[in-house]
Amino acid sequence: MNTESMSLQDFRGLLQQLGAGAPGQDISDEERLRRAKNMFMQKLNGHRAVDLDSCLQCGMCAEACHFYEATQNEKYAPVYKFRPLRRFYRREMSPLRWFYRPFTRDITIADLKEWQHLVYDACTGCGRCDMICPMGIKISASIRVMRHGLAAAGYVPPEMRVVRNEQRDQNTLFGVGTEQLKALVDKLGTQGINIPLDREQADVMLLTTAVEVLLFPDAFAASARILNQAGADWTIRSDAFEAANVGIITGDDQTMKIAVRRIVDKAKACGIKTVLMPESGHAYQMMRWDAATEMGGPLPFETLSMPEFISAEIKAGRLNLNAQSNGASVTYHDPCRLSRKGGVMQQPRDVLAALGLDVRETPANQRENYCCGGGCGEYVLESADDLRQKAFEIKRREFEETGADAVVTGCANCRINLMIGAENSGWQTPVTSLVETVAANLAD
């Protein structure tokens, strides 16, 4: 399958233009500070308090961070990335605030400006630091609260602000909405791929992302072919297909809830039993782990990632695969939000093994895997270009140690980032997707 799509080059051009369109923000410094503090107050809870009160300041987290490892810049120590939150906690919320207050500097507007770089450019929220902390502190959760505070204060970087506003106000991303999806479905229809668009009732609702529609239509087509061969009773809704959620990425709850509710409401209306997430790590985390809590109650459907779905279908004997026997080798890149933050680690390996591929592990893998370097929307930020490329070199080294013929991953964001990194450094090993790899081996 080779559906015509936007080239990586054109997509990179699109990203470079993004920031220029960012609307100005007329917020006074006092108001920004007030909003940031108010958000910190809202988001600090018992779990974060235990975390903030437990830190030994040992600095081991730096040793888990790809940005610190790549630059040896101590500012990128994860513990430092939530320093203003810790100061706020100590001054305003800690049980010993009366003691800490005279010794703890209040947060300032200069802090917020400085931390914009530290929590958007220099953190992908991958949570590798969470795995090294000897106290078990969820460092990435506190950094996420930092993003919330900065978002409330109007410090979302311009590129992210543009896409956030687009999703919130227009229900499109990168200009992809209902019409673009319908056009792709029509095109795939002419290639013989049947896509049951906009059915009123179905068991399974597939989601996709603007990035798939624009850049990776083959991944979307692959998902459809897999569902068709598995005989699933499925649909995709042109009015609720976008799985990506810029709200969760930027730390903006309003946008996050608008985007989640759109899908949840549609799934309820269509009697959906399973919402099937496309290859997007943060979207899976959102729908599988955060949505119920954010919506205020359990969801009436289950949420599955593609690797979980495919692995189950293979086990149930509903997918007919041509297992390869040519000894081709692959290495699987674990998207952080699918693996250590999502619990989906064995299934993609089972699927690749079922295809007869020689699956090789990078030295750090599964829950300890290195981030692609551009997760959590970081790949759209021009200001992070250098950092990202340096972090990519770590991934490249890891991949090269496996000697595998190709890199397979389960997240389009990881895939773009790895492809851009490879292109920049002239690295030739192909980076592909799990669903496309499976679809290429479906026996018709």
Measured distance CA(257)–CA(295) in Å, rounded: 8
Cβ neighbours for 77, distance < 8 A, ≥ 6 positions apart: 59, 61, 62, 65, 68
Residues 330-349 contacting other proteins, CB under 8 A: 339-343, 345
SS3 of 25, please?
Answer: coil
Q: Of 24, 296, 327, 426, which lies in the binding site for other proteins, with binding defined by CB under 8 A?
A: 296
Q: How far is the CB of 336 from other proteins (least distance, A)?
A: 11
Options 94-102, 183-191, 192-200, 409-417: segment touching other proteins (CB under 8 A)? 94-102
Instruction: Say if residues 442 and 226 touch (Cβ distance below 8 Å).
Output: yes
CB of 165 to other proteins, least distance (A): 27
363 is an interface residue for other proteins by CB under 8 A: yes
Minimum separation from the CB atom of position 288 to other proteins (A): 7
Output the CA torsion sign for 293, 297, 298, 303.
Answer: negative
First vs last Cα of the chain: how many Å apart? 13
Q: In a 10 Å sphere around its CB, with 0-12 CB exposed, 13-18 middle and 19+ buried, how is residue 55 labelled?
A: middle
- Contact call for residues 301 and 334 (beta carbons, < 8 A): no
- Fill in the amino acid letter for 162: V
Q: Considering the complex, what minimum distance in angstroms separates the CB of residue 225 from other proteins? A: 28
CA 110 to chain centre: 29
**Residue 197 or residue 345: which is nearer to other proteins going by CB?**
345
Kindly state the number of chain residues that form the binding site for other proteins, as judged by CB under 8 A: 63
**Rounded to whole angstroms, how far apart are CA atoms 205 and 274?**
6
Span 51-70, contacts to other proteins by CB under 8 A? 51, 53-60, 62-64, 68
Distance CA 120, CA 205 (A): 32
Q: How far apart are CA 155 and CA 149, in angstroms?
A: 9
The interface with other proteins within residues 407-436 (CB under 8 A) comprises: none
CB under 8 A: which stretch of 124-132, 182-190, 251-259, 404-412 binds other proteins? 124-132
- Residue 28, classed as helix, strand or coil, is coil
Residues in the chain: 444
Member of 75, 113, 261, 262 binding other proteins (CB under 8 A): 75
Applying the rule CB under 8 A, the residues between 130 and 169 that interact with other proteins are: 130-138
**How far is the C-alpha of 1 from the C-alpha of 182, rounded, in Å?**
19
* Under rule CB under 8 A, residue 118 binds other proteins: no
Contact positions with other proteins (CB under 8 A) in 368-397? 368
Our finding on whether 8 is near other proteins (CB under 8 A) is no
> Which listed range, 74-82, 166-174, 262-270, 376-384, lies at the site for other proteins (CB under 8 A)?
74-82
If the CB atoms of residues 366 and 424 are measured against other proteins, the closer one turns out to be 366
Residues contributing to the site for other proteins (CB under 8 A): 44-47, 49-51, 53-60, 62-64, 68, 72, 74-75, 77, 79-80, 83, 93-96, 99, 103, 130-138, 288-293, 296-299, 302, 339-343, 345, 363-365, 367-368
